[in-house]
Amino acid sequence: MERLDNRLGFFSAVPLGLILLLSFLAPLVVVALFSIMPQKVFSLANMPDFSAYSVFFAQGYYRSLLWALGMAFAASLVLFVLCWPLAYGMAKVFGRFSLVLTIAVVMSLFVSENIRLFGWVLTLMKGGLFEGYIRAWTGTGFESPLYNTGIIIFGLVYVYFPFMLFPLAQGISMVPDDTRQAAADLGATRWQILRHVDLPLAAPGIVVGTLLTFVLGAGALAESKILGGQAVIVIADDIETAFTFGQNWPLGSALSMILILIIGGLALFGVNRVDLDAIMGRKR
Amino acid sequence: MDAQNILRLRNVVKDFGTFRALHGIELDIKEGEFFTIVGPSGSGKSTLIRLLVGMEELSEGEIWLRDKRIDQTPANQRPTCMVFQSLALFPHMTVGQNIEFPLKLRKEAPAARRKRALELLDLLRLPQNYYDKRISQCSGGERQRVALARALAFDPEILFFDEPLSALDYRLRKTLEKELKDLHARTGKTFVYITHSLEEAMVMSDRIAIMKEGRFEQIAVADVIYGSPVSRFVAEFMGEVNLFEVTGTPRGAPEGPGLESRLDGKAAGAGLMLAHGEAGTIMVRPEYVRFLPAGQSTDFMVRGTLVGQYALGSRIQYEVETAEGQVLTVEKLREDRFAGAEGAAVVLGFEAEHAHMIRGA
């Protein structure tokens, strides 16, 4: 009986499973195939020549990739340091107040990312909410902090905040209180407890949070465009340009493939090292 | 100031908001002693041990370790250590890393740490190859030993135990109780143990403190607590017991409903005398109560009906209901089993020297 149920379950999952598989895989396959086509063709019926990949190095696209990865890395690092105390509070200290905090953070996701970023532009631009009022009151203005790499990282931190906070809080909640107490009892200082107990035991949450923010940050476009005013070009920007203005699908595809491979590799590496079942609350 | 006392508590009070968990605890624990604090849940024993290791701050009073006052010292600077009820082993470390943890914190050399860890594995009768095992590969009893080894690696002045055996099955608990007592003898350390199980306390301890509602009811060696409890609470907590409420006669002999006494002046010798009209409770343990054959008599006698019998392994337990509706318990070894059938009228008897007077109502 149970086996029949299992089989029926499997069969009823097949149609949707196929659609999902197709809709996830098909674009990937198309992109992969286009990336090996000669430059500026719009058909897959050409001899593969990998020229788009050589352009990646020859025309310096690797610089935008490094910018994207570097800023995503910096944002993940800032997010980790920023979110740890808050996540700790949510998991161990705040109690019912955590729910209020969760709702507040989730609410920010209800508004489109672009609109929120434009909000920051209006706030921070010269003559905007911030500088405008200060100048009106004090008579002296200052340069806008917009349009540099710092503000792009700020934008990434701001937008991807929930993606670090919640996995981290989940990870910290998995650290048993008594192991922390036992470590203290055995003579560990706060820092030693953090290093030897909290960080290793919260590792699944740390890995998930860091991966999410890094992966999303590396492919992010709006922050560098809207807040950064294209002070630096990130790889996602190059990809968009290649597909649109450049009319060079193979180049766009090759750049995408490189980003996908790097991020995919990192994700696999990270996920393999932690027990994801633990954080999903599943017993092994 | 007694030099022999390693730990001294003076008027220790702990309040949680308006609730007073500990009411002015006074306690002296001797160097090298196995001291057990027993009490039902909610008696304050866990609060007390958390105060002693520094996980909780006391509201009033002083804690002295030898000649140092430690009540304001944080847990990580106290030279004491606790084995947790949950054991609180570090799941991400191997057995060896767990044991070496306190040594690593003190920045001891890896070779010295390893040597000490292997010695401790030996002391706790764990095979040397457990050094590289994961905690998840160890059984409950093995984890218990690893937790002990880790605490001993810390080399504490006093080792505290917070009901570490309560989660284990009966047989393993019995084995580990004896091992703990043996370990206590071999290490010569002071052990302070908390449990709700009087059996555990009796097997291991030098002295036992019975705790009730944030106060000590009685602190004494096991035999005294078992044989001469100071209160009904202690008497009932320390196993099966028969209690008779009595008052003093004009001559000072105890007298109560349903209890026939033929003391013939032995009451004074057995410490059972009461002032005229003074209330007390006579206690006798089930193993000292006998079924009297017709014609025999003892110092105290009770009449009743046999209402039940239960096999407890090596012993048989009988329940006898008196005319007053009180149910008494009698225990006999299997070889001395009583032949009577249920519903039979029986006479129970016990001698004055086996009875104990709990004074006060």
Per-residue pLDDT of chain A (284 residues; tens, 9 = 90+): 567 888 888 889 999 999 999 999 999 999 899 888 888 888 887 888 878 888 888 888 888 899 999 999 999 999 999 999 999 999 998 888 889 999 998 988 898 888 999 999 888 888 888 888 888 898 887 888 888 888 999 999 999 999 999 999 999 998 999 999 999 999 999 999 999 999 999 988 999 999 999 999 998 888 888 888 878 888 888 888 888 888 888 889 999 999 999 999 988 888 887 766 655 554 43
In this prediction, what percent of chain B has a pLDDT beyond 90? 43
Task: Please tell me the distance in Å from B76's CA to the nearest CA on chain A.
Answer: 4
B296 falls in which pLDDT band (50, 70, 90)?
confident
Relative orientation angle of helices A249-273 and A2-35, to the nearest 10 degrees: 140
What SS3 class is residue B251? coil
Report how far residue A262's alpha carbon sits from residue A271's, in angstroms, rounded to the nearest whole number: 14
Q: What is the pLDDT of residue A283?
A: 42
> Do residues A283 and B136 lie in contact, with contact meaning Cβ atoms separated by under 8 Å?
no
Q: What is the pLDDT of residue A282?
A: 47
Work out the angle at residue B104's Cα, subtended by the Cα atoms of residues B99 and B109, and round it to the nearest 5 degrees.
Answer: 110
Task: Please tell me the distance in Å from B262's CA to the nearest CA on chain A.
Answer: 59
Task: Please tell me the distance in Å from B90's CA to the nearest CA on chain A.
Answer: 6
Cα torsion B217, B222, B227, B233 to 10°: value is: 30
Say if A179 is an interface residue toward chain B (CB within 8 Å). yes
Report how far residue A41's alpha carbon sits from residue A251's, in angstroms, rounded to the nearest whole number: 10
Residue B3 has pLDDT above 60, yes or no: no
Average pLDDT of B271-298?
Answer: 87
Task: Please tell me the distance in Å from B96's CA to the nearest CA on chain A.
Answer: 15
What SS3 class is residue B321? strand
| Helix residue spans in B76-131 (DSSP H) | 95-105, 110-123
Q: Which of B136, B139, B134 is nearest to A283 (CA)?
A: B136
Say if B105 is an interface residue toward chain A (CB within 8 Å). yes
Residue B2 has pLDDT above 60, yes or no: no
Rg (CA), chain B: 25
- Mean pLDDT score across all residues of chain B: 88
> Do residues B348 and B292 lie in contact, with contact meaning Cβ atoms separated by under 8 Å?
yes
Say if B81 is an interface residue toward chain A (CB within 8 Å). yes
Report how far residue A278's alpha carbon sits from residue B28's, in angstroms, rounded to the nearest whole number: 46
Task: Please tell me the distance in Å from A161's CA to the nearest CA on chain B.
Answer: 28
Residue B4 has pLDDT above 90, yes or no: no
Residue B158 has pLDDT above 90, yes or no: yes
Q: What is the pLDDT of residue B337?
A: 81
> Do residues B150 and B185 lie in contact, with contact meaning Cβ atoms separated by under 8 Å?
no
Cβ-Cβ contacts under 8 Å, A181 against chain B: 55, 75, 84, 88
- Say how many residues make up chain B: 361
B28 falls in which pLDDT band (50, 70, 90)?
very high
> Do residues A52 and A277 lie in contact, with contact meaning Cβ atoms separated by under 8 Å?
no
Report how far residue B71's alpha carbon sits from residue B263's, in angstroms, rounded to the nearest whole number: 53
Q: Indicate the residue type of A278.
A: A
Q: What is the pLDDT of residue B63?
A: 92
pLDDT in tens, B80-132: 999 998 899 999 899 999 999 999 999 999 999 999 999 999 988 899 999 99
| Helix residue spans in chain A (DSSP H) | 2-35, 51-58, 61-88, 97-108, 113-124, 129-138, 149-173, 177-185, 190-193, 199-201, 203-218, 222, 235-243, 249-273, 276-279
Strands B345-350 and B356-359 come out as unpaired
Contact A184 B76 (CB under 8 A): yes
- φ, ψ (nearest 5 deg) of residue B125: 60, 40
Cβ-Cβ contacts under 8 Å, B80 against chain A: 185
Residue B135 has pLDDT above 80, yes or no: yes
Q: pTM for the whole thing?
A: 0.80
Report how far residue B306's alpha carbon sits from residue B320's, in angstroms, rounded to the nearest whole number: 4
Say if B338 is an interface residue toward chain A (CB within 8 Å). no
What SS3 class is residue A173? helix
Relative orientation angle of helices A149-173 and A203-218, to the nearest 10 degrees: 150
Report how far residue B309's alpha carbon sits from residue B34's, in angstroms, rounded to the nearest whole number: 37
Question: Chain A to chain B, count of Cβ pairs less than 8 Å apart?
Answer: 59
Q: What is the pLDDT of residue B1?
A: 45
List the single residue in A with minimal CA-CA distance to B155: A186
Q: Which residues pair with A2 in a beta bridge?
A: none
Contact A186 B53 (CB under 8 A): no
Q: What is the pLDDT of residue B335?
A: 83
Contact B92 A182 (CB under 8 A): no
Cα A104 to chain centroid, rounded: 20
- Say how many residues make up chain A: 284
Say if B136 is an interface residue toward chain A (CB within 8 Å). no
List the single residue in A with minimal CA-CA distance to B80: A185
> Do residues B161 and B151 lie in contact, with contact meaning Cβ atoms separated by under 8 Å?
no
Residue of A179, A185, A192 lying closest to B81 (CB–CB): A185
Say yes or no: ipTM exceeds 0.90. no
Q: Which strands make up the sheet holding B80-83, listed edge to edge?
A: B80-83, B158-162, B190-195, B34-38, B207-212, B215-220
Q: Positive or negative CA dihedral for A195, A200, A206, A211? A: positive
What SS3 class is residue B157? coil
Report how far residue B3's alpha carbon sits from residue B225's, in angstroms, rounded to the nearest whole number: 26
Average pLDDT of B5-27?
Answer: 90
Contact B75 A184 (CB under 8 A): yes
Work out the angle at residue B90's Cα, subtended by the Cα atoms of residues B85 and B95, and round it to the nearest 5 degrees.
Answer: 100
Residue of A182, A187, A196 lying closest to B88 (CB–CB): A182
Q: Which of A256, A235, A226, A91 is nearest to A167 (CA)?
A: A91
Say if B106 is an interface residue toward chain A (CB within 8 Å). yes
Contact B102 A201 (CB under 8 A): no
Say if A178 is an interface residue toward chain B (CB within 8 Å). yes
Say if B84 is an interface residue toward chain A (CB within 8 Å). yes
Contact B76 A178 (CB under 8 A): no
Cβ-Cβ contacts under 8 Å, B76 against chain A: 184-189
The mean-pLDDT minimum among B39-43, B268-272, B276-280 falls in B268-272
Maximum Cα–Cα distance across chain B: 79
Residue of B76, B81, B88 lying closest to A176 (CB–CB): B88
Say if A283 is an interface residue toward chain B (CB within 8 Å). no
